[in-house]
Structure 1
């Protein structure tokens, strides 16, 4: 009987974390913070929204790659370096999935593909960003902005994300050539080469952090407005989480996972969908962390004011 009683207590404790009564949550405690975060993940349906983001990001993935590789002949850049870089950072199944498509695009240069790539990328990605913006507003329990303004911000953030992805691809691959051109033009000493090597690898994650921070700052339609400083914790989490996910996922798939033998030719698609799904969940979770931190800060300020003497 005592064992059953202890088991019931443990189950009750787990339920208090997983399904808390929000009115009883003390956000100032560690337990209360975790409970508030769990509540928000359920409120925004983080798993469902992650799947929705993965769907729209997948629709934009290939148009964006086609757009990027179609630019190569116009920029006189070597396509071999792009493929080498992609093979290093992507799981083998995903790389095999896109290699044939991109090779066909490069071998059949067509200016129309550039336009199709831009339109396809912006339309699909903007739908995904729009879903992400709805999640961030729901995280703070607020309504989004009016239709036109919301679509405008969605387009702005979509363009920013596409630009960051382009830079993230170009800098590691062609950063050395870019540095040589710039240093040669400016007459800078070769001793700056080591500094440039560091800069070209740190620039992509820095830009990702900036774009995510601005998104976390501007998108939530809160009153009063969020401060830039208040969204840094979630942005740091999302940036580092995405980097760990990308390289860790690639390492796992290449060394332990064998999706091709299980799923055949669609193994690459499944892996890509999983990566996009977890990417969406990480970005949403970063916004939820910021919302819980903000609520905690407001509770601290309210408690401090309540203790202040009244004259």
Structure 2
């Protein structure tokens, strides 16, 4: 027990020391700027792909209405409601992917600075950027789709002609396993991004602590943000749409800060070995 306490105190001390480094006042802001630029294109891609996965478009529209200011929502939603795959839609998807890749390039640049390696822009970097773009889209899609499918799965269970006790047990089981599975998938995505983003070979085991740290804090922050969107934003009369934008920007900055801090933890562990 004493060894666990000692290791935990050392971990907290290392984290506090990393937070005081000058890069932690610069890199999270840089990353959050590009993630904010990538967010709307990412939502467009998710909205355009969602119907192919049988996710109701209305759910995506409701999410955008609740999470974005009214002026921004009014620009995004008409594009999502385009039913035909025409040249403008294809151009929109390509443009969105390119903008999302700017966010992943920023992650790679941040990783190079933290690990102290040169940020080379070559074919390998382009391939990694594409892979990370897909991972980011999957990560945000998963965060969005899980609430959608949660209600649908529970509705299906309730509609099944089962004994009441069996139905209740299934609902309880789903409620128990939903969050562990969600957290595990988020952790795997973050771990892969941490492993491939630096311009050097990284041992996947060396990013475990940072990935766990980021996953736990991301889950807590996202839960708080989701609670705000569901219960508070609609009642904010004084600030109106501005409050949604401010909270969205704050959320993106905080998850960027945590992401950079988690990567710094991994780099610090690598240097100590």
TM bucket normalised to smaller: 0.7 to 0.9
Q: TM-score, normalised by structure 2?
A: 0.73
User: Which residue number in structure 2 is paired with residue 293 of structure 1?
Assistant: 269
User: Which residue number in structure 2 is paired with residue 65 of structure 1?
Assistant: 43
Q: Does 1:243 pair with 2:219? A: yes
Say if 1:142 and 1:221, in contact at 8 Å, map to a contact too. yes
Q: Greater shift after overlay, 229-238 or 105-114? A: 105-114
The offset of 1:201, in angstroms, is 4.2
Say if 2:55 and 2:148, in contact at 8 Å, map to a contact too. no
Q: Does 1:46 pair with 2:24? A: yes
Q: Does 1:141 pair with 2:116? A: yes
Relative to structure 1, the CA distance from residue 260 to residue 52 in structure 2 (aligned partners, 3 Å threshold; closer, same or farther) is farther
Say if 1:96 and 1:268, in contact at 8 Å, map to a contact too. no
Aligned length: 254
Say if 2:55 and 2:145, in contact at 8 Å, map to a contact too. no
Q: Does 1:165 pair with 2:140? A: yes
The offset of 1:76, in angstroms, is 5.0
The offset of 1:30, in angstroms, is 7.2
Q: TM-score, normalised by structure 1?
A: 0.65
Say if 2:118 and 2:199, in contact at 8 Å, map to a contact too. yes
Q: Does 1:230 pair with 2:206? A: yes
The offset of 1:238, in angstroms, is 0.9
**Unaligned runs of at least 5 residues, structure 2:** 1-8, 161-165
User: Which residue number in structure 2 is paired with residue 219 of structure 1?
Assistant: 197
Cα distance per residue 1:144-189 (max 9 Å; x no partner): 35522122111111111102222332233125657969xx9xxxx9
Say if 1:122 and 1:158, in contact at 8 Å, map to a contact too. yes
The offset of 1:208, in angstroms, is 1.8
1:110 & 1:68 partners in 2: Cα distance?
16
Relative to structure 1, the CA distance from residue 159 to residue 73 in structure 2 (aligned partners, 3 Å threshold; closer, same or farther) is closer
* Alignment counterpart, residue 238 of structure 2, candidates 261, 264, 274: 261
Say if 2:32 and 2:252, in contact at 8 Å, map to a contact too. yes
The offset of 1:98, in angstroms, is 5.2
User: Which residue number in structure 2 is paired with residue 7 of structure 1?
Assistant: none
Say if 1:172 and 1:201, in contact at 8 Å, map to a contact too. no
The offset of 1:235, in angstroms, is 0.6
Q: What SS does structure 2 have at the residue aligned with 1:115?
A: helix
Answer with 1 or 2: which has the greater Rg. Answer: 1
The offset of 1:231, in angstroms, is 0.9
Relative to structure 1, the CA distance from residue 73 to residue 230 in structure 2 (aligned partners, 3 Å threshold; closer, same or farther) is closer
2:189 & 2:176 partners in 1: Cα distance?
21
Relative to structure 1, the CA distance from residue 127 to residue 249 in structure 2 (aligned partners, 3 Å threshold; closer, same or farther) is same
1:276 & 1:103 partners in 2: Cα distance?
21
The root-mean-square deviation of aligned C-alpha atoms, in Å, is 3.8
The offset of 1:266, in angstroms, is 4.2
Say if 1:136 and 1:287, in contact at 8 Å, map to a contact too. yes
